[in-house]
Amino acid sequence: MNETDVVIIGAGHNGLTCAAYLARAGLRVRVVDRRKVVGGAAVTEEFYPGFRNSVAAYTVSLLNPRIIADLKLADHGLKIVERRAQNFLPSPDGSYLLTGEGRTADSVAKLSAHDAEAIEGFSRELEAIADVLRQFVLRAPPNLVEGFGATAIREAFNALGTANILRGLSLEQSRNLLDLFTRSAGEMLDERFENDLVKALFGFDAIVGNYASPYAAGSAYVMLHHAFGEVNGKKGVWGHAIGGMGAITQAMARVAREAGADIRLDAGIREVIVEKDRAVGVVLDSGETIRAKYVAASVNPKLLYTRLMPSGALAPEFLARMNRWRNGSGTFRMNVALSALPSFTALPGEGDHLTAGIILAPSLGYMDRAWQDAREHGWSRAPVVEVLIPSTLDETLAPEGQHVASLFCQHVAPELPDGKSWDDHREEVADLMIATVDAFAPGFGKSVLGRQILSPLDLERQFGLLGGDIFHGALTLNQLFSARPMLGHADYRGPLRGLYHCGSGAHPGGGVTGAPGHNAAQAILADHRALFASR
Ligand SMILES: Cc1cc2nc3c(=O)[nH]c(=O)nc-3n(C[C@H](O)[C@H](O)[C@H](O)COP(=O)(O)OP(=O)(O)OC[C@H]3O[C@@H](n4cnc5c(N)ncnc54)[C@H](O)[C@@H]3O)c2cc1C
């Protein structure tokens, strides 16, 4: 019979995490995805004969250590290695910044004695606040509820727990927390540092997946969002999953299947079935129905509520608010197959800097102008590009002696102005991105053997990322924490009984964290147990 306990929409890493926890708790779980492969935005693909790379998400840090341990992902094939250097920022004037364990202080000192003094304090400040955020990652934020009852009591305890975590902060740290949630990264960095590359190191994190200037209010939070991860126990560090990001989701799928979850691919959902204000299953594109006690959706919340719900199922105010959910991260993503490693003018030849995230955006002003230009023109003519060459750490990705690189590019408009389409400008913008790298590493363009291009429109078409939004919705204060995806629904429960949010559109937001999947599974299990207890 086509009936199960839980149906999960989407086999991205959060859908899979949710499935694994629920199946291990003994529930019958079915995951359905419209794509032919598991993984959503965390996948590896051969994009040019003999060359494989992570297609969308490309670097790992935020994946929660408890989820890695609980699901025994290492035993299921996942191996994460550290970059040998963390970040490399070349400047057109020939100077550069190279960060990483045992490198940052010396490299900053060569640029500015003042900043060498300041950076340790700033990093400590950021780390202290990131430590607080880490405590919120695997718990539902306080949820606003109306009236009294069991839910209100549960939320009162949750609010007390939240207050307790925040009490661990000194008054000065609380002030820093407020700054980081509300201010612009640019302002905060200008106050602390004098060198452009040092500011750009932190400022880049403020605009990753954030279609905004680093001087936009709230961009400091996006910077913080990229600081709460770790690799193999080392906080704030970024690394590489051997085999690419698909190795993470392949391991998750193995765990979920071993626990009994059924994963069906090439099976898009057309509509959620709603009966008497309760989600009771889904209709596939094929017309087949699957009935379930619980429906968990890992898709972008705007996609769920504006495209996959029967008309009339939602309160008009809820739907109107969801229509205003802001998508569009300003991202353009490429993979390139390379005949040789690039050589950067600022630091020629091979070396550990080629294992780093190479940030081509030498100042906050450059990033600000990139955003302004994209808003007016549709894409920035001097874009921000992060180059990552994972084949310097992983020989499974390219033929011997050759390489693959990820190019993560900001800023481009989610929708082009004047009725222009990304279908007509994809190649032109891809050429620009390669020329941008070439300006820092002459000869790069000539070494490109093949390329894969994903404009915002392609990200939407291939992955269901509305507006190409890499995080399933902007990480702005009105779409974060208790407001993600909406005040009153921060506890992973949707506006209909039996309907749950288990993707990046729920707290703590985007990134390959596994956290929304984990937290939604806890909410479903709590409701399941309460249902049985009441019988
Ligand atoms: C270009 C890019 C670069 C990124 N870089 C990084 C990075 O380096 N590090 C990092 O940590 N994060 C990165 N991110 C963010 C991160 O990848 C995402 O936040 C995360 O992978 C989202 O996971 P998810 O499981 O919540 O959703 P998704 O991975 O989006 O999964 C949702 C799934 O739902 C499926 N779906 C959609 N519609 C339907 C339907 N109608 N029926 C059935 N299934 C459906 C989709 O096919 C998809 O598989 C990046 C994202 C992108 C796009």
Instruction: Give the DSSP per-residue string, 92-107.
Output: TTS-EEEESTTTHHHH
248-259: b or e for each residue (b if 16 or more CB lie within 10 Å)?
A: bbbbbbbbbbeb
Pairing relation of β-strands 96-99 and 87-90? Answer: antiparallel
Is residue 185's pLDDT more than 70? yes
pLDDT score recorded for residue 145: 81
* Residue to mutate (ligand 1; options 16, 21, 31, 33; most atoms within 8 A of CB): 33
Mean pLDDT of the chain, nearest integer: 96
Residue whose CA lies nearest to ligand 1 atom number 15: 511
- Residue 462 alpha carbon, nearest atom of ligand 1: 47
Between strands 357-360 and 379-388, the pairing is antiparallel
Residues 311-331: tens digit of each pLDDT = 999 999 999 999 999 999 999
Instruction: For residue 353, report the phi and psi dihedrals to the nearest 5 degrees.
Output: -65, -20
Q: Report the distance separating Cα 96 and Cα 77, nearest Å.
A: 37
Measured distance CA(454)–CA(422) in Å, rounded:
10
Q: Residue 352 has what DSSP assignment?
A: G
Q: In ligand 1, which atom is closest to the CA atom of 333?
A: 1
Neighbour tally for 442: CB within 10 Å:
14
Give the distance (Å) from ligand 1 centre to CA of residue 12: 6
Look at 169-178, 197-206, 390-399, 514-523 and tell me which has the smallest mean pLDDT.
Answer: 169-178
pLDDT for 152: 80
Report residues whose beta carbon is within 6 angstroms of any ligand 1 atom. Answer: 9-15, 32-35, 40-42, 56-59, 62, 268-269, 298-299, 308, 331, 333, 459, 463-465, 470-472, 503-504, 510-512
The rounded Å distance from CA 214 to ligand 1 centre is: 24
Beta strand pairing status for 278-284 and 289-297?
antiparallel
CA of 345 to the centre of ligand 1 (A): 35
Q: If you search the block for the tokens 């390669």, which residue do you land on?
A: 434
Ligand 1 centroid to Cα of residue 514, in Å, is 11
Q: Check residue 447 and give its pLDDT.
A: 98
Q: If you take atom 36 of ligand 1, which residue's CA is the nearest one?
A: 10
Buried b (16+ CB within 10 A) or exposed e, 33-42: bbbebbbbbb
Res 449 pLDDT > 70: yes
Nearest ligand 1 atom, CA 504: 26
pLDDT of residue 1: 58
Mean of pLDDT values over 277-289: 98
Measured between its terminal Cα atoms, the distance across the chain in Å is 24
pLDDT digits (tens, 9 = 90+) for 44-83: 999 999 999 999 999 999 999 999 999 999 999 999 999 9
Q: Is the pLDDT of residue 487 over 70?
A: yes
Whether the pLDDT of residue 521 is over 80: the answer is: yes
pLDDT of residue 149: 78
Number of the ligand 1 atom closest to the C-alpha atom of 307: 41
Percent of the chain with pLDDT over 90: 93
What three-state secondary structure class fits 59?
coil
Q: How far apart are CA 483 and CA 471, in angstroms?
A: 15
Calculate how far, in angstroms, residue 84's C-alpha sits from the geometric centre of ligand 1.
27
Residue 316: predicted pLDDT:
97
- The CA 195 to ligand 1 mean position distance, Å, reads 35
What's the confidence (pLDDT) of residue 161? 84
Are the C-beta atoms of 291 and 3 separated by less than 8 Å? yes
Distance, CA 10 to ligand 1 centroid (Å)? 9
Tell me, in angstroms, the distance from the centre of ligand 1 to residue 468's CA: 10
In this predicted structure, the answer to whether residue 339 has a pLDDT above a threshold of 70 is: yes
Calculate mean pLDDT across residues 217-228: 94
Nearest protein CA to atom 33 of ligand 1, as residue: 10
Q: How many residues does the chain have?
A: 535
Question: Measuring from atom 38 of ligand 1, which residue has the nearest CA?
Answer: 464
Compute φ and ψ for 270, nearest 5 degrees. Answer: -90, -40
Residue whose CA is at the smallest distance from ligand 1 atom 18: 511
Examine the pLDDT at 428 and tell me if it is beyond 70. yes
How far apart are the CA of 40 and the centre of ligand 1, in A?
Answer: 5
Bridge partner list, 450: 337
Shortest-distance Cα residue to atom 6 of ligand 1: 57
**9, 462, 507, best to mutate for ligand 1 pocket (most atoms within 8 Å of CB):** 9
Neighbours of 278 (CB within 10 A): 14
Give the model's confidence band at 533: pLDDT under 50 very low, under 70 low, under 90 confident, else very high. Answer: confident
311 vs 287: CA distance, rounded Å? 18
What's the CA gap between 446 and 283, in Å, rounded? 49
- The H-assigned helical ranges of 168-275 are 171-182, 185-192, 196-207, 219-225, 246-258
Residue type present at position 268: G
Q: Does the predicted model carry a pTM greater than 0.85?
A: yes
Residue nearest to atom 49 of ligand 1 (CA): 40
* Residue 173 Cα to ligand 1 middle (Å): 33
Predicted confidence (pLDDT) per residue in 111-164, tens digit: 999 999 999 999 999 999 999 889 999 999 998 888 777 788 888 788 888 888
